[in-house]
Chain A
Amino acid sequence: MATFINFKALVQLLLLPCLLLCSSIAYNSSSVKATMHTNNWAVLVCTSRFWFNYRHMANTLSLYRTVKRLGIPDERIILMLADDMACNTRNKYPAQVFNNENHRLNLYGDNVEVDYRGYEVTVENFLRVLTGRHETAVPRSKRLLSDEGSHILLYMTGHGGDEFLKFQDSEELQSHDLADAVKQMKEKHRFKELLIMVDTCQAATLFNQLQSPGVLAIGSSMKGENSYSHHLDSDVGVSVVDRFTYYTLAFFERLNIYDNASLSSLFSSYNPSTLMSTAYYRRDLYQRRLEEVPVTNFFGSVMETIHTDAAYKALSRKISDRSESQISLDQSIHREERRMLININVCDEIHDVSTEGQEDDSKCPWSAFYRKMQKIENVDSLVNYGLVAMLPFLVFSTWLFH
């Protein structure tokens, strides 16, 4: 019976580490893997129709131009315009849309790709774009094909109110609809980080219900405040831009693709007195510090590149790769130096001394072994020798100890 208890203890001892191993592996797989930021998307939505809402179209097109200038390609922009101002019969300047009375910039240039136009801009389509739940016939250009490494910029402009945004003058997107869509997106890993920018009256109320982590939201005005247009273009006959978007564009026109201005500088550039409303941003769901996040993380497409010397090496061993590349570099330099040595006796003697020095080191087996290990081309043959040596060692040890 005493042997039984020993066995029990033995078996329990074996059980514990196995359980620990399983749980640790399970925990490792369940903990959030740090996904890399791989691409940027922009969803730009203008929700108002009718000629007198020209400024909302101009807002959206200005932001479209900025985002394209800073690097996001058309494949990753979903542009939704609820009405056509450029070819509107009331437009004195056909096929041109301006956001300033100086008419310096034509926003409706040669390469504007509108994905959802006119009556296609509905709350249903908007939510379908966000959640990715489309009918089978919807083409790829109309889908938000983001993945878990995407940063998404969601810009919405139009008429809004307390916890709603008006679409097409006939339906509303409510704040809990938006929060639900964002939650679905988070569940389906459709974004890594999301920046929601809203330029409407009482915009900040639209993201009251948001709860998903990784979401940053800024609205042009708080509850009870209106967002105003910037100026009236007497030539076109309507207001051409809203104040919030105007000052946003003023910030971005100073930038080019190489600047790394941070989001906190963008957010602090809004002056409540010039905006005539308080730009309110919500950062409790966003883990990173705004001073560290460059604006091009959302408004442009600037990626971090990792340079590796050789192909097919594991990304997690960046440091070892660099050190190995340095070692191989040193060796190649050494070899070149050897080749450059002319047949001068002195140099030959130096050469001999250096080889002798190496042989001396080999008397201390560990350093020679270590140096051998660092030469990459010897590794495979060493492993092969090791594998082959296993069999005679096994036979010898079995014969010795039988």
Chain B
Amino acid sequence: MVPLCYCRFLDRLQLRELKDSLIIFCTDVFSAMLIRATGQNLRLAYLFSLESLDLVKQIEVSEILSSGDIAALIYLWNPFTIVACVGLSTSPVENMAVILCLYGACSRLIPLAAFGWVIATHLSLYPAILIIPVIFLLGCGPDAPPRKLFLQRHQQEEVLNQSKLPLGFSWRPIIHFAFWALLWSVYVLVLCGISLKQFGGIWEMFKSTYGFILTVEDLSPNIGVLWYFFAEVFDFFRNFFLIVFHVNIIFMILPLAIRLCHRPCFLAFVYIAIFSMLKSYPSVGDSALYLGLLGWFVNELADMQFSFFLFCGYFGVSLLSPVMHNLWIWRGTGNANFYFATAMVYACLQIILVVEGVSAMLNHDRKLRNLTTGKPRDAKS
């Protein structure tokens, strides 16, 4: 159904560039299929954990939505994804690499996960932090309530049924992953070195790609917040603020990893949302990725607050932001503050989404804990 709608959409506009964007369109469809597969994997894991906690009767299984289908549909029909596809951006390719990595890690296909991670890091630097959720996924398995919940449950019943306990952390898949990641990165770097010999070699490539991302040389306006800031910072403080902005992403890694280590896919979602917001050159293609991945957690995040506010906010910002850009750059009647205001609102909305998402997930865990410890609480409230 979805490919048919896409094809009709493309034919209606009848532009040659859209037919050239067939590759990107296929990339998007492939990513959606991978999201669906991973979502089904997560749903199975969720059902398995419910079963092992003996909560199957208290939480209606039929109410558990098929998160894979929902996530895939959200990703494909997201206006941001469509805009990125029509604009022939390379964001869909970067998104596909990230999704490939997560799919490989969820399905224990270690070479695939390593490939996805290496390619995602090579294309844009920030997915490197996804190594932590991937390690958790390979070591522990997909999302599940905290391990101590299982131990508590079985201590209560004094029955240690091995088949119902989730596996402990194992290092072997991690070592495999490290080996494959090393192999793929050597492959990619050798190819880059060969093709760039005339242009200054690998070091020139790193300076132009990673160096450019980290030093934020070009201050063209974008939907992020760094350009406005760095346009007015004094040169003396520029390096300091560069470090501050990048450490802003880095220092959130550790606490989130500690708190959400039992839910690696959700941790990956939070990391993707954070670096999509705080990266030096964000775009709506990056938002398309985490908004799609939000669909994996429809069951757990059903009670998220401010969801309607966020939806209206995203809608409003995506309408106002091009208008303000046009006013400033093309008509000359506005100024940078108009456009930057929409960028700030966008950043605020992303922050609210992340914060509310994490608190809703933790509330869900708390609810599961209360149900397993048998406190008199209705499961449906």
A interface residues, Cβ below 8 angstroms from B: 3-4, 7-8, 10-12, 14-15, 18-19, 21-23, 25-30, 313-314, 316-317, 320, 324, 373, 376, 379-380, 382-383, 386-387, 390, 394, 397-398, 400-402
> In the complex, what residues of B have CB within 8 A of residue A15's CB?
250, 253-254
- 1/0 contact string of B277-298 vs chain A (CB within 8 Å): 0000000000000000000000
* Among B57-65, B70-78, B195-203, B333-341, the stretch in contact with A: B195-203
Complex-state Cα separation, A21 to B204, whole angstroms: 15
Given contact pairs A3-B169, A387-B191, A390-B187, A314 touches B239 in the complex (Cβ within 8 A): no
The number of A-B residue pairs with CB atoms under 8 Å apart is 91
CA distance A30 to B250 in the complex (A): 22
The residues of A that contact B198 with a CB separation of less than 8 Å are: 313, 324, 376, 379
Contacts of A400 in B (CB 8 A): 111
Residues of B within 8 A of A14 (CB): 131-132, 253
A379 to B261, Cβ gap below 8 A? Answer: no
B247 at the A interface (CB under 8 A): yes
Contact A19 B247 (CB under 8 A): yes
Instruction: Name the distance in Å between B248's Cβ and chain A's nearest Cβ.
Output: 11
Given contacts A22-B214, A316-B200, contact A397 B242 (CB under 8 A): no
Known contacts A22-B243, A401-B110; is-contact A373 B254 (Cβ 8 Å): no
* A379 touching B215 in the complex, CB below 8 Å, given contacts A11-B257, A394-B111, A401-B110: no
Contact A29 B239 (CB under 8 A): yes
- What are the residues of chain B within 8 A of A3 when measuring CB–CB? 169
Considering only residues 215-269 of chain B, those with a C-beta below 8 Å from chain A are: 215, 238-239, 242-243, 246-247, 250, 253-254, 257-258, 261
Contact present for A11 and B132 (CB under 8 Å): yes
> In the complex, what distance in Å separates the CA atom of A380 from the CA atom of B250?
37
CA A172 to CA B45, docked complex, whole Å: 85
Q: Given the interface contacts A25-B215, A314-B199, A316-B200, does A18 sit within 8 Å of B250 by beta carbon?
A: yes
Query: Do B108 and A402 touch (CB < 8 A)?
Result: yes
B353: Cβ under 8 A from any A Cβ: no
Q: Are A398 and B111 in contact (CB under 8 A)?
A: yes
Question: Do residues A317 and B243 form an inter-chain contact, with CB atoms below 8 A?
Answer: no
Q: How far is the CA of A314 from the CA of B199 in the complex (A)?
A: 6
* Residues A386 and B112 in contact, CB atoms below 8 Å apart: no
Instruction: Indicate if the CB atoms of A26 and B215 lie closer than 8 Å.
Output: yes
In whole angstroms, what is the CA distance A379 to B201 when docked? 13
Determine if B242 and A26 form an interchain contact, defined as CB atoms under 8 angstroms apart.
yes
Cα A379 to Cα B195 in complex, Å, equals 6
How would residues 103 to 140 of chain B score, 1 for a CB under 8 Å from any chain A CB and 0 otherwise?
01000111110010000000000000001100100000
How far apart are the CA atoms of A71 and B135 in the complex, in Å? 66
Docked Cα-Cα span, A313 to B197, in Å, equals 10
CA distance A10 to B214 in the complex (A): 23
Q: Does B5 contact A (CB under 8 A)?
A: no
**What A residues does B258 contact at CB under 8 A?**
4, 7-8
A394-B111, A398-B111, A402-B108 known; A26+B187 contact, CB < 8 A? no
CB-defined contacts of A398 to chain B, threshold 8 Å: 104, 109, 111-112
Closest Cβ–Cβ distance, residue A92 to chain B (whole Å): 57
Which 6 residue pairs across A and B have the least CB separation, nearest first?
A397-B111, A314-B200, A26-B239, A383-B195, A386-B191, A398-B112
Q: Of B115, B194, B250, which is within 8 A of A383 by CB?
A: B194
Q: How far is the CB of B190 from chain A (nearest CB, A)?
A: 8
Please determine whether B243 and A23 come into contact, CB atoms closer than 8 angstroms: yes
Query: Could you tell me the distance in whole angstroms from the C-beta of A57 to the nearest C-beta in chain B?
Result: 42
Within 8 Å of chain A (Cβ to Cβ): is B211? Answer: yes
Which residues does chain A contribute within 8 Å of B215, judged by CB atoms?
25-26, 29
A172 smallest CB distance to B (angstroms): 33
Q: Which of B132, B187, B197, B254 contacts A379 (CB 8 A)?
A: B197
Q: Is B180 an interface residue (CB 8 A)?
A: yes
Give A177 Cβ to nearest chain B Cβ, in Å.
25
Residues on A with beta carbons closer than 8 Å to the beta carbon of B238: 30
Q: Is the CB of A8 within 8 A of B115?
A: no
What is the distance, in angstroms, from B167's C-beta to the closest C-beta of chain A?
Answer: 13
